[in-house]
Amino acid sequence: MTQALSKHRHISFTAHYTGYIWYQMGISHQALATKKGKTLAALVHPLESWAEKYVGGSMRSTLKQRHTLLDDQLKSLIEQHPQLQVLEIASGLSPRGWWFRQHYPEITYRELDLPDMAQTKQAALQQIEADAPDMLSVDLFTQEFKQAFDLFDSSLPLVVISEGLINYFDKPLLAQLIQSIAQYGRTFPQLHYLTDLYPEPVKNKLAHIIWSSSKLLKWMSRSAFSFHFTTPNDVEQFFKENGFHEVKVTQPADSHHLTPSSSTEHLGDLVWTIHASNKKQR
């Protein structure tokens, strides 16, 4: 039987790039670093080095930042809910699933991606993880996404995680994704959604360069890549309109990044994280 796929699939070269950068930065495993990622990293290296020297930050520096922020928030959620179950969507070549399964062997942690990436990741995990659970080969915009939730125990809390994903979709499609997560997760006593997000780079002195790079990325990934939000309030409102009751935005400029940002202002960071959640209605 052929697998159901939507037209909302962007090509995954960025996942190869990110996977390689994480390996280079010492926060991943060699098995998750591909040749394609290495080639892309070599190609972009001069531009990234220039940005780090003259701007004080680059795309690759945000990759580590967003990854670490999400890891910290996930650790904190597991401490609060030791029976937490995790579904990482569009996980690409992220080491997170592998790392958390090693360090928290008691939790259920499943990863999902499109068929090609799911196959590549599965092969990589098999080299480094004895009992790696099967990757879920699912398109987020098909009915199969709903079925992925049925694989979890609905008497225990669930967290859905995405990283480097939501800017690739236009706003109506992002609304559809958030609504699906809220709806399919409503049978769980608690549903959490952790994600990163690139806000409008309005406060950055390189806003123009970042904008031009984002247009290039949009074209190269054949996606709708764009910046959807300018303030934490915009994000909060959007997630609330699309099915979540609690929404906390974290801006790294707030030094206590495990507590949500109290600021309603854009503090100038290139990447934020969002923790949206719902409790089951009785």
Structure-block tokens of residue 3: 């697998």
Minimum Å distance from CB 94 to ligand SAM?
Answer: 5
Structure-block tokens of residue 121: 């990741």
Residue whose C-alpha is closest to residue 22's, from 72, 64, 57, 69: 64
C-beta nearest to ligand SAM: residue: 92
104-143: which residues touch ligand SAM (CB under 6 A)? 113-114, 117, 139-141
Minimum Å distance from CB 271 to ligand SAM?
Answer: 11
Q: Is 36 near ligand SAM (CB under 6 A)?
A: no
15-34: which residues touch ligand SAM (CB under 6 A)? 15, 18
The H-or-E segment that residue 66 falls in is helix 59-80
**Separation between Cα atoms, residue 174 and residue 140, nearest integer Å:** 11
Minimum Å distance from CB 199 to ligand SAM?
Answer: 17
Q: Which stretch binds ligand SAM (CB under 6 A): 13-21, 46-54, 198-206, 264-272?
A: 13-21
Residues 6+ apart with CB under 8 A from 268: 203, 204, 253
φ/ψ (deg, to 5) at 51: -60, -40
Q: Which is nearer to ligand SAM, 59 or 236 (CB)?
A: 59
Residue whose C-alpha is closest to residue 61's, from 280, 271, 239: 271
Q: Which stretch binds ligand SAM (CB under 6 A): 86-94, 243-251, 252-260, 267-275?
A: 86-94
Minimum Å distance from CB 139 to ligand SAM?
Answer: 4
Among 9, 36, 81, 257, binds ligand SAM (CB under 6 A): 9
The H-or-E segment that residue 35 falls in is helix 35-54
Q: Which is nearer to ligand SAM, 19 or 157 (CB)?
A: 19
Q: Is 91 near ligand SAM (CB under 6 A)?
A: yes
- Side by side, the strands of the sheet bearing 136-137 are 136-137, 108-113, 85-89, 158-162, 190-197, 272-279, 246-250
Q: Which stretch binds ligand SAM (CB under 6 A): 9-17, 44-52, 182-190, 259-267?
A: 9-17
**Separation between Cα atoms, residue 42 and residue 34, nearest integer Å:** 12
Q: Is 163 near ligand SAM (CB under 6 A)?
A: yes
Question: Where along the sequence are the contacts to ligand SAM (CB under 6 A)?
Answer: 6, 8-10, 12, 14-15, 18, 90-92, 94, 113-114, 117, 139-141, 163-165
